[in-house]
Amino acid sequence: MNKWCLLVVALVLMPNLAYGSIGFTSIVDASEAARPLMLSIWYPSDGDQSDIIGGNAVFRGEYAALDAKVVGKHPLIVLSHGGLRSTKDSGAWLSAALAKAGFIVIEVNAPRPENPAMAVDEIWQRPRDISRALSVILDNAAWADHIDEKKVAVIGFALGGTAALSLAGAELDAERYYESCADAGSIGADCTWFSSHNVALNQVDQDEFEQSRHDRRFTSAVLIAPEYLEAFSIESGMALAPTLLISLGSQEMKTLRLPHVEKKAIDEANRLDAFAVCTESGPQILLEEEGDAALCGTSPEERVRIHALIADMIVSFLARNF
């Protein structure tokens, strides 16, 4: 789908696209002292997009109008980035693109786990954070009037995609999940980190892990290169909310066991393309800091193209399922 097709789809879905500007603000929910959530909010606005959000020396940020007035009423997306050690606003590139298409987008930024022993609980913390963020925004009088509560989606990258699938109604099979890191082909990006600190997946808080995270307020879900797909129970996937899997490469397609999930693959992409576009000096900075220059991809132009494909797929899917 080219840019003009995306524009037509978005205009049908969101007549308020004509505002042509996006705003940004953030709120902090400190109702749980041990796990405060910083919520980054992107939305259609009529402000001057002069502020750069989510950028740093390695990755480009996105332009938005800081604390500008929100204009109109829109569907809502709650977005969760993936990596256990990701920085806040890692999904700014997608949040900005979806806000331009007429959505209000909430990116959930939770505290980074201090060590693998804490991180093993992120499998249930992430979906819990997302549901909590949705409650916070719907209970906020300043935002509630701008949200169409009948059109609420959850989108997640990597472990955030795993969380989105749980919220859509799928459930992890405990034994399959516990053995996930034993399989060399498993999509569990932090298995090596856990293993190097003698942390096993079965050290998760059992009571919390066994609770269903299905949240029926979410009417659709999008998973971008999710982890632990092979550990979900087939039976639990029979009555999912409408769900789209976007595979960056083909690995997720091989491990998806659930029926009734729409699948799209970007064969030429890889999981690192879920990162933002790098700055001109980004690759060199990563090399100097003994990081992985592959985080920047083959070229900025190629990553921009892949990001546009991802946004196109999401907008088209939501247009059909909202």
Summary mean pLDDT of the chain: 89
Q: What is the pLDDT of residue 40?
A: 98
Q: For residues 127 and 149, give the distance between their C-alpha atoms in angstroms, rounded to a whole number.
A: 19
Which residue has better confidence, 250 or 71? 71
pLDDT band at 19 (very low <50, low <70, confident <90, very high): low
Q: Which helix (H) or strand (E) holds 160?
A: helix 159-168
| Per-residue pLDDT reduced to its tens digit, 49-78 | 999 998 899 999 999 999 999 999 999 999
pLDDT at 18 over 50: no
- CB within 8 A of 294, min separation 6: which ones? 272
* Structure-model confidence comparison of residues 12 and 181, the more confident one: 181
pTM metric for this prediction: 0.91
Contact by Cβ (8 Å): 65, 51: yes
Which pLDDT tens digit goes with each residue over 159-195? Answer: 999 999 999 999 999 999 999 888 654 555 688 889 8
d(CA 211, CA 176): 16
pLDDT of residue 144: 94
The answer on pLDDT for 34 being more than 60 is: yes
Mean pLDDT of 200-228: 96
Domain at 309, CATH number: 3.40.50.1820
CA distances from 121 to 126, 181, 190, 248 (A): 9, 15, 13, 25
Total structural domains in the chain? 1
User: Containing domain of residue 34, as a range?
Assistant: 3-321
**How far is CA 95 from its chain centroid?**
9
Tell me how far the alpha carbon of residue 48 is from its chain's centroid. 26
